[in-house]
Amino acid sequence: MDGPWAICGDFYICRFPSEKRDCNRNTLAMKEFSDFIEDMELIDLQLTGASYTWFKGDNHTTASRIDRILISTEWNNLFSNLKQTTFQRVTSDHVPIAFLCGQREWPKSYFKFENGWLYAEGFVDKVKEWWSDFEFHRKSNYVLACKFKALKGKLKDWSRMEQGNLKLKKNSILNQMAEIESLLNNRALTEKETARKATLFMEYEGCLKNEEVAWRHWTFWETISEPNRIKEEVIFFYKKLSIELEDWRPPENINNLPTITEAEKEALQTVFEEQEVFECLKLCAIDKAPGPDGFTMGFYIKC
């Protein structure tokens, strides 16, 4: 096969005795697997983060490295800082493996409010506290703009902390789970440690749900399998704008048509009340796309 490529997964076999717990001899399957890697001119990168990738039993009595990522020499020549590393396993008996290729520089992004923050404990109360502490003087529109600018700064600082940063929170939970998992290498877990592991799993599940909310909020596209259908719909839409589809016409004599009352007319012309605006906001979906200020409808509804 030409070009850079990689193969990964559960190969159901180890290469060396050191990759299997309590194993001290090379088997024929191990030798054949190593020969296959050499014949295909593949590179088996060193695994970092753990010695084994599969466990069996509550006390990990059986463990081995049967999962790996193999890359071609072309891939190795094109990319730098190649390594395969492990993540903390949660429910599966296999350890997740990541294939990393150097560093990527992300462009500076504008402020984006994450709806997942709304589910953090005490977040709404903290926002209200920040908002009341801001003091600016001049016209109301200037004060509002300054308050939003100051709030963005507070939210950015808060999001860098563990409570506001899903990635940090997930890593903290996974590290705690890894510490408990490491105890299984020497002994069985106590009742307290087992309960703590279950609590961490529930917290991790909550992080995943909030992460899903964030991804759903920032994902606006839809995969279209029929591009021609889009073209047809666009053409039809603009043709329809200049086509008269209704046959109904108002009668020539409009003197006897029903009309609104003076009270209804006056109600339509009154200035919008603050409570009326809030009620309309509450009817909006919280996961709508943010405006130019970066705040979502969820922020205005919940905070």
* Helices 140-160/123-133 angle, 10° precision: 140
Number of compact structural domains in the chain: 2
The Cα–Cα gap between 40 and 90 comes to 34
What is the pLDDT averaged over residues 113-140?
A: 85
Given a contact cutoff of 8 angstroms between Cβ atoms, the answer to whether 72 and 60 are in contact is no
Q: Which of 33-42, 208-217, 256-265: highest mean pLDDT?
A: 33-42
Nearest to 296 by CA among 287, 36, 60, 150: 287
Instruction: Answer yes or no: is pLDDT of 20 > 70.
Output: yes
Pairing state of beta strands 42-44 and 6-10? unpaired
279 in a domain, yes or no? Answer: no
Other C-beta atoms lying within 10 Å of the C-beta of residue 268? 8
Both 82 and 123 in a single domain? no
Residue 197: predicted pLDDT: 85
Other C-beta atoms lying within 10 Å of the C-beta of residue 111? 16
199 in a domain, yes or no? Answer: yes
The Cα–Cα gap between 12 and 36 comes to 14
| 28: three-class secondary structure by DSSP | helix
Both 97 and 121 in a single domain? no
The proportion of the chain whose per-residue pLDDT surpasses 70, expressed as a percent, equals: 88
Last residue of a domain, one of 46, 68, 101: 101
293 in a domain, yes or no? Answer: no
Residue-wise pLDDT tens digits, 183-204: 877 778 888 888 888 888 888 8
Question: Tokens 């190649």 label which residue?
Answer: 82
Residue-wise pLDDT tens digits, 133-149: 988 887 888 888 889 88
Residue 105: predicted pLDDT: 46
11 in a domain, yes or no? Answer: yes
Residue 300: predicted pLDDT: 86
270 in a domain, yes or no? Answer: no
Number of helices (H), then strands (E), in the chain: 10, 8
What's the pLDDT band for 259 if we cut at 50, 70, 90?
Answer: confident
What is the rounded average pLDDT for all residues in the chain? 81
N- to C-terminal Cα separation, the chain: 56
Both 54 and 130 in a single domain? no
What is the pLDDT averaged over residues 90-110?
A: 73
75 in a domain, yes or no? Answer: yes
Last residue of a domain, one of 203, 218, 233: 218
Both 32 and 94 in a single domain? yes
The parent domain of residue 31 ranges over 6-101
80-94, 133-147, 233-247: the lowest-pLDDT one: 233-247
Instruction: Answer yes or no: is pLDDT of 17 > 50.
Output: yes
Q: What is the enclosing helix (H) or strand (E) of 70?
A: strand 67-72
What's this model's pTM, rounded to 2 decimal places?
0.44
